[in-house]
Chain A
Amino acid sequence: MTNIEATPSAKPKVKKTQSKQVSETKDQKSDLAHDLPYPHLNSVARDLMKESDAVRIRAIRQGSWLPLPHAKEAIERMEMLLDYPPVTRMPSLLLVGASFSGKSTILERFLSLHPPDVDPASEIMTCPVVMIDAPPRPDIADFYSRILDAIMAKYQSRAASYEKYSQIKLMFRQLGVKMLIIDEIHHLIAGSLNRQREFRNALKSLSNETKVCLVAAGIDEAYNAFNADPQMSSRFIPLKLPSWRTDQNTGILLATLQKRIPVKYPSDLDSPESLLTIVNRAEGSLGDIFDLVKEVAVAAIQSGEEKLSLKLIKGIDWVPPSRRKNYRPPL
């Protein structure tokens, strides 16, 4: 599980008043925080301090949803696209960010908000959002196969591209597909300029003929590849995700995290040296920053140290993402 989520307040407006009340009570509590134990924690974490180690560890592992403004914005933009009426040129979104900046997590989160219907009693699956990884090279037949796989369609893998394409159009219409998410879109750069152009044309036709919105996500190079084509750059509105380097952004993130981790003593998370160590070990990946911090927090409780010390951060046995198999189950 990854632990980035849209902030709850990004959810329906109706609930806003309710959550406001909650935060007010929290604020009142924090006014009294000087008299309370664990002033370095927020009220939720402070409440957790009454619990056993096991409960605290469980709470840490479960992860608390951290409202990240960029994730919230991306998801809101995607919701807007999903509601878009069919027009001649469907608007599209290009999510740009460094590797491990949390793009995939946002996309998966959005997908999970719009799951396909799995009711065996229905005659046709409704599937508003389809998500694929772009093929490693701009190979159109492979691209179509991935789409057909994602909607669990039966097809002949050796069939000609145009047959697969026709099948996609038929299936998209039947399943009510409204949005196609293509992650790792920068893979298209792996081909010749001709191939890249073909691939972009395939994207355009697909969007024009099926009236699905496209959401593409990739690293900066994807942005350049798209901009080479004025038709694409006018259609794809870019949204840049922040990167997680040794900068203020990450510092604020860690400081926020620190308040949420129920350990007895104030931690070193916001020290420049911790920041550097964490960013390096997690290789700038947002998901991995969370992961690493969680493991350090668990170790802090288990060892009795009760503090996310620099020593722990440096010493913990943890595999960086680059050495993990980049595994994502198929849709």
Chain B
Amino acid sequence: MARFHQDLWPIRYKPLEDELLSSWLVRLAHGHGLKVQSFCNMLYGNKRQIWNRDIDRLAPQWLLDDLKLHTGATQMQAEQTTLRIFDGVLVKHYREAGPLQWIQLMQMYHRKREGYGQQFCPICLQEDKVSYFRKTWRLAIKTMCLKHNCMLMDRCPQCDSAVSYHRIGMGQPNHVEFDPLSTCHECSFDLRAASAKPVKVYNEEAFDWLRRVVSDIDDFSAGKSVKIDLKEVSLFHHMTAMVSKERNRYHLGQHVADMVGADDYVPINTNRVALESYQCHVRNQYMQFAAWLLVDPQVRLHQACRARAIRHNFLLRDMKDPPAWYEDCVNNRIATRARPFFERRHKINLDSRADEIDLTY
């Protein structure tokens, strides 16, 4: 008599494209008709608490191994669900606690997500056959959905709660068909019905540059082979942080705002808040400003120095390992042009659309 495969669960969904571990796990639990907490308690007992931590970041190996075993997912599929894949790509030193470059903080407190670290695109959720959450939606560098040309959101528009799909069904018995993951755990608003806002473009060139960065990161996160240079993304992070803050009497952000004609710039006037916890539209503006500087750095950075918007030595300060071209550009004040942000994509362009781009760097 044919027996069931001993280890396989009857419901063995595989991770969807770019799906987060937490999203996958909640879908699996709901597929079994269980709340995710009950499901995990049943499987891993009370000792191995999962939901009081940021599991997408922690992603313990035993959990991945277990899910792989029971769902028949491949090693690759399981590993791809964690934010660890950004180690050495967007993040310098991946660790379990403390801030991580470009990764939104969850600020877990007793299973409650206090921080607005989980963003989403309402139209993506709408178009999903089964609503699920993406890894890129946890990235501070991603503030907009390229597919739908809209800003991401990071909270329920009805009650302002942070997104916590793992709390769906809490206080309800295990039975039923749980609401889809797009449901606000607090007020049951369906995030698919949220109206997406268009992206405000301050400067076309800078915006295109940012779009390309986000597009590369989307591709990387979806498992496509894209080379992303950690030094370049770190520089971008550095530059975004610089435009976000006023240092003494130096107002780099305001300078860029004046240059691009933005009248809605407000700096973050504290050093204690990390870029990763800024609101989505604020981050988007700062990133567009930083992008504007990096599109033509040898001109715009020196122009900013001359305008006393920034002190020249701030440009390299706090940067541990800047890209060589940037160091050159700052130190020698010579006309080097910014190297392509992600070399590989430009190489592809070079092959396929050589006539469309300027190759004389």
Binding site for B on A (CB under 8 A): 108, 111-112, 115-116, 118-125, 127, 151-156, 159-160, 162-163, 166-167, 170-171, 174-175, 331
Task: Say yes or no: is B14 at the interface (Cβ < 8 Å to chain A).
Answer: yes
Binary interface profile of B, 22-44, with partner A (CB < 8 Å = 1, else 0)? Answer: 00000000011110001100110
Task: Say yes or no: is B98 at the interface (Cβ < 8 Å to chain A).
Answer: no
Q: Are the CB atoms of B1 and A112 closer together than 8 Å?
A: yes
**Dominant SS among interface residues on chain B:** loop
Question: Within the complex, which residue of A151, A166, A175 is in contact with B176, where a contact is CB–CB below 8 Å?
Answer: A166
What is the minimal beta-carbon distance from A140 to any residue of chain B, in angstroms?
A: 15
When A125-B8, A125-B12, A127-B10 are in contact, do A163 and B174 touch as well, CB less than 8 Å? yes
Q: How far is the CA of A179 from the CA of B176 in the complex (A)?
A: 22
Q: How far is the CA of A331 from the CA of B5 in the complex (A)?
A: 11
What is the minimal beta-carbon distance from B132 to any residue of chain A, in angstroms?
A: 13
When A111-B1, A171-B32, A174-B31 are in contact, do A153 and B10 touch as well, CB less than 8 Å? yes
Task: Say yes or no: is B72 at the interface (Cβ < 8 Å to chain A).
Answer: yes
Q: Are the CB atoms of A118 and B2 closer together than 8 Å?
A: yes
When A166-B33, A167-B175 are in contact, do A120 and B8 touch as well, CB less than 8 Å? yes
Question: Within the complex, which residue of A108, A152, A163, A171 is in contact with B173, where a contact is CB–CB below 8 Å?
Answer: A163
Q: Find chain A residues with CB under 8 A from B9 CB.
A: 125, 152, 154
Q: Find chain A residues with CB under 8 A from B177 CB.
A: 170
Task: Say yes or no: is B62 at the interface (Cβ < 8 Å to chain A).
Answer: no
Q: Find chain B residues with CB under 8 A from A152 CB.
A: 4, 8-10
Task: Say yes or no: is B13 at the interface (Cβ < 8 Å to chain A).
Answer: yes
Task: Say yes or no: is B11 at the interface (Cβ < 8 Å to chain A).
Answer: yes
Q: How far is the CA of A155 from the CA of B42 in the complex (A)?
A: 8
Q: Find chain A residues with CB under 8 A from B174 CB.
A: 156, 159, 163, 167
What is the minimal beta-carbon distance from B177 to any residue of chain A, in angstroms?
A: 6
Q: Find chain B residues with CB under 8 A from A170 CB.
A: 33, 175-177
Q: Find chain B residues with CB under 8 A from A127 CB.
A: 10
Q: Are the CB atoms of A125 and B10 closer together than 8 Å?
A: yes
Question: Within the complex, which residue of B11, B12, B173 is in contact with A120, where a contact is CB–CB below 8 Å?
Answer: B12
Q: How far is the CA of A156 from the CA of B13 in the complex (A)?
A: 21
Q: Find chain B residues with CB under 8 A from A124 CB.
A: 10-13, 31
Q: How far is the CA of A160 from the CA of B174 in the complex (A)?
A: 9
Among B162-204, those with CB < 8 Å from A are: 173-177
Q: Which of B4, B13, B72 has the most CB of A within 10 A?
A: B4
Residue of B whose beta carbon sits closest to that of A157: B42
Question: Within the complex, which residue of B4, B8, B12, B33 is in contact with A331, where a contact is CB–CB below 8 Å?
Answer: B4
